[in-house]
C-alpha cells in the first residue's frame, strides 16, 4: 500500500457529512472538532493575583497569556500601594530612629529630610521588583499583551480593540483603586488619595486623613513619625474593628501618645480646597483645616472598562466581582482573584488566591489553599499582625480560653534595639491547650506572627501551647516572646 493510500484511509476514518443530507437513524453521527483557543488560560492583570495564577498554570503545562494595561508589570501592589508605601515607611522609621539616637544627637546631627529624599530609593526598589517579576514571565514562556483588555464574549477578549484573543479559561485580576466620591476635587494640588499621596513633593506641617482603615492608620502613623500634625477621621466607633480589642486599645493609645488626633463616628459633609490648605467640614459641625488632605476611605474594583456587559459576569456598586470558594464567577471558566473580589484585599492573599485558581483549573486542588487563616499585616508604628480568633469572637462562641502575654519591654532583644513598645498575645483552649489565636503589636509583628501561625495549624495534639514551653529559642531574639507568653498563659491555669 502506498503512502497515498494510507493517507486516504486515515482521512476516511473521520465521519464527514453533508448537513443537508438524510442519514439512517442508527448511523454514526458527525463528530464536531474540538474548539481551538489561542490560550488555555488568559490572565487579565499582572499584580500578585494575576502572577500567582499565571505561574501556577504555566508550571502545570497550560499555555498562558496575560494582559497588562500599564507600561510596566506588577500592578498597584508594585507601583502605587504595598511596595512604595512600605519602602517610604522604612525610610521614615529608619531615618527618624537614627536622628533620635543619643549618639547621633551628641555628634550634633539634626536634619529634616525632605519628601524627595525619603522617596529617593523607592523607584530603585520598584525597578528591581519589575525586573524580577518580568523574569518569571520570560522564564515560563508567558507572553505579556500590553493594553486595555475587554471581553467580547465568554471566550474572547481584545486588547485595545485589536485582534481577538480566545482562551479556554480566564482570570480577572485587575485590582482596585481608591474610591473617589463625587464632590471631592482630586485635581486640587493639596487633595490626595492613597495612589497619589506618594507623589507629594513638599512635606506639609499638617494633614487630615479621612478614613481610619488599614491604609489610613498606616499613613497617619507614618506622617506623625515625620513630625507632621495629623488629624485621623474615623467613620466608625473604633479603629480597625476586626482586630482584637486589646490590640485596638494599644494602637489607639500609641497613636494618641505620638500626637495623632483621632475623631471617631464622624462623616464628611464637604471638602473645600484652598490655595493655603484644605478645609474639612464634618456633619457633626466640626471644621478642620490642614495643609493637605488624604482621602483613605474605601476602594473601587477595576472592572468598569472590562467589557463585562458582553458576558453574564457582573460587578457590584464598588466594582467588585462575586466568586465562590474556588474563585469562579457565575461562568465556571472565568475566575476572579485579588482586590477585585473585595476583602481581605491583601497582596499576600491575592497571590495565594491566584495560585488556588490555577490549581483548580489543573485539577490539582479542590479547596482554596488555607485561605481561612490569612494573617493580618498592618504597617503602623509599631506594626500589628494577627491570625486566628479574637477574644471577642471566642467569648461570643462560649469557648473556654485563656490568655498568655509577653510584654516586649521584658525581652532582652527589644531592650537592645530600643523597640520595647508592644506585646505578643496567645489565646489557647483551657482544656486542650490548643492555640486559637495569635496577636502581636510591636516591632517586627508581621514576621513574628508566622511562628504561631505554623504551630496553630498543626494537626490534632501537635497544636498546643506547650510546644513553646518545651522549645529552646535563640537568645536574645524577639521570637523568645512565644516562650514568655506561653509560660504566662500556663501559669494562669489551675
Known binding residue 216? Answer is yes
Known binding residue 4? Answer is no
Torsion over CA: 347, 353, 358, 364 (sign): positive
- The grid cell for 314 is 457582573
Known binding residue 38? Answer is no
Spatial contact of 473 and 479, defined as CB atoms under 8 Å apart: yes
- The grid cell for 207 is 494633614
Known binding residue 289? Answer is no
H or E stretch covering 357: helix 347-362
Which residue matches cell numbers 499613613?
219
Angstrom distance (rounded) from CA 271 to CA 293? 9
**Chain centre to alpha carbon of residue 185:** 27
Angstrom distance (rounded) from CA 250 to CA 422? 8
Spatial contact of 373 and 437, defined as CB atoms under 8 Å apart: no
Which residue matches cell numbers 485539577?
363
Angstrom distance (rounded) from CA 176 to CA 319? 8
Known binding residue 283? Answer is no
Known binding residue 176? Answer is yes
Angstrom distance (rounded) from CA 263 to CA 239? 10
Known binding residue 86? Answer is yes
Q: Residues near 170 by Cβ (< 8 Å), separated by ≥ 6?
A: 41, 42, 43, 44, 157, 333, 334, 335
Known binding residue 174? Answer is yes
> Helix, strand or coil for residue 415?
helix
Known binding residue 214? Answer is yes
Q: Residues near 141 by Cβ (< 8 Å), separated by ≥ 6?
A: 58
Torsion over CA: 390, 299, 42, 66 (sign): negative
Known binding residue 279? Answer is no
Angstrom distance (rounded) from CA 247 to CA 385? 9
Angstrom distance (rounded) from CA 206 to CA 167? 51
Known binding residue 339? Answer is yes
Which residue matches cell numbers 495643609?
291
Surface-to-core class of residue 10, CB atoms within 10 Å of its CB (0-12 exposed, 13-18 middle, 19+ buried): exposed
Which residue matches cell numbers 495569635?
438
Spatial contact of 411 and 405, defined as CB atoms under 8 Å apart: no
The DSSP result for 59-100, as a single string, is: HTT--EEEEE-SSSSSHHHHHTSHHHHHHHHHHHHHHHHHHH
Q: Residues near 5 by Cβ (< 8 Å), separated by ≥ 6?
A: none
Across the strands, what pairs with 32? none
- The grid cell for 461 is 495534639
Known binding residue 175? Answer is yes
Region class of 183: left (phi > 0), else alpha (psi between -120 and 50), else beta: left
Question: Which parts are annotated binding residues?
Answer: 86, 174-176, 211-218, 298, 339
Question: Which parts are annotated binding residues for FAD?
Answer: 86, 174-176, 339
Question: Which parts are annotated binding residues for NAD(+)?
Answer: 211-218, 298
Amino acid at each position: 500500500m502506498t503512502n497515498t493510500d494510507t493517507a486516504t484511509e486515515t482521512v476516511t476514518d473521520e465521519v464527514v457529512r453533508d448537513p443537508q443530507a438524510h442519514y439512517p437513524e442508527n448511523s454514526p453521527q458527525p463528530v464536531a472538532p474540538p474548539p481551538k483557543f489561542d490560550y488555555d488560560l488568559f490572565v487579565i492583570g499582572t499584580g500578585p493575583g494575576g502572577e500567582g495564577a499565571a505561574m501556577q498554570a504555566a508550571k502545570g503545562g497550560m499555555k498562558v497569556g496575560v494582559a497588562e494595561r500599564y507600561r510596566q508589570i506588577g500592578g498597584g501592589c508594585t507601583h502605587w500601594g504595598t511596595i512604595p508605601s512600605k519602602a517610604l515607611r522604612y525610610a521614615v522609621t529608619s531615618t527618624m530612629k537614627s536622628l533620635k539616637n543619643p549618639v547621633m544627637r551628641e555628634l550634633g546631627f539634626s536634619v529634616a529630610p525632605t519628601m524627595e529624599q525619603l522617596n529617593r530609593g523607592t523607584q530603585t526598589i520598584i525597578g528591581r521588583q519589575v525586573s524580577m517579576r518580568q523574569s518569571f514571565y520570560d522564564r515560563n514562556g508567558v507572553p505579556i499583551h500590553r493594553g486595555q483588555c475587554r471581553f467580547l464574549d465568554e471566550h474572547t477578549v481584545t486588547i485595545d480593540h485589536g485582534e481577538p484573543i480566545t482562551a479556554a479559561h480566564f482570570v480577572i485580576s485587575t485590582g482596585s483603586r481608591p474610591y473617589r466620591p463625587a464632590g471631592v476635587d482630586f485635581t486640587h494640588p493639596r487633595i490626595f488619595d492613597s495612589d497619589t499621596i506618594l507623589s507629594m513633593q513638599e512635606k506639609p506641617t499638617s494633614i487630615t486623613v479621612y478614613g481610619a482603615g488599614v491604609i489610613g492608620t498606616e499613613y497617619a502613623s507614618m506622617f506623625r513619625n515625620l513630625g507632621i500634625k495629623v488629624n485621623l477621621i474615623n467613620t466608625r466607633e473604633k479603629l480597625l474593628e476586626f482586630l482584637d480589642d486589646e490590640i485596638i486599645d494599644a494602637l489607639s493609645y500609641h497613636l494618641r501618645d505620638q500626637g495623632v488626633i483621632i475623631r471617631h463616628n464622624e462623616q464628611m459633609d464637604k471638602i473645600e480646597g484652598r490655595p493655603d490648605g484644605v478645609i474639612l467640614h464634618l456633619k457633626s459641625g466640626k471644621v478642620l483645616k490642614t495643609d493637605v488632605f488624604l482621602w483613605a476611605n474605601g476602594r473601587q474594583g477595576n472592572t468598569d472598562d472590562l467589557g463585562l456587559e458582553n458576558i453574564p459576569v457582573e460587578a457590584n456598586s464598588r466594582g467588585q466581582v462575586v466568586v465562590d470558594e474556588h474563585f469562579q464567577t457565575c461562568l465556571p471558566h472565568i475566575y476572579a482573584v485579588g482586590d477585585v473580589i473585595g476583602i481581605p484585599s491583601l497582596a499576600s492573599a491575592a497571590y495565594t488566591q491566584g495560585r488556588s485558581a490555577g490549581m483548580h483549573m489543573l485539577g490539582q486542588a479542590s479547596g482554596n489553599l488555607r485561605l481561612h487563616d490569612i494573617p493580618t499585616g498592618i504597617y503602623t508604628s509599631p506594626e500589628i499582625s494577627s491570625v486566628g480568633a479574637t477574644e471577642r469572637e471566642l467569648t461570643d462562641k462560649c469557648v473556654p480560653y485563656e490568655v498568655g502575654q509577653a510584654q516586649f519591654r521584658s525581652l532582652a532583644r527589644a531592650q537592645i534595639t530600643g523597640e520595647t513598645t508592644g506585646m505578643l498575645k496567645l489565646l489557647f483552649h483551657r482544656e486542650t491547650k490548643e492555640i486559637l489565636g495569635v496577636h502581636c503589636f510591636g516591632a517586627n509583628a508581621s514576621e513574628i506572627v508566622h511562628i504561631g501561625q505554623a504551630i496553630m495549624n498543626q494537626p490534632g495534639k501537635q497544636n498546643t501551647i506547650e510546644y513553646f514551653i518545651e522549645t529552646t529559642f535563640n537568645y536574645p531574639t524577639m521570637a523568645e516572646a512565644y516562650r514568655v507568653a506561653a509560660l504566662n498563659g500556663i501559669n494562669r491555669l489551675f
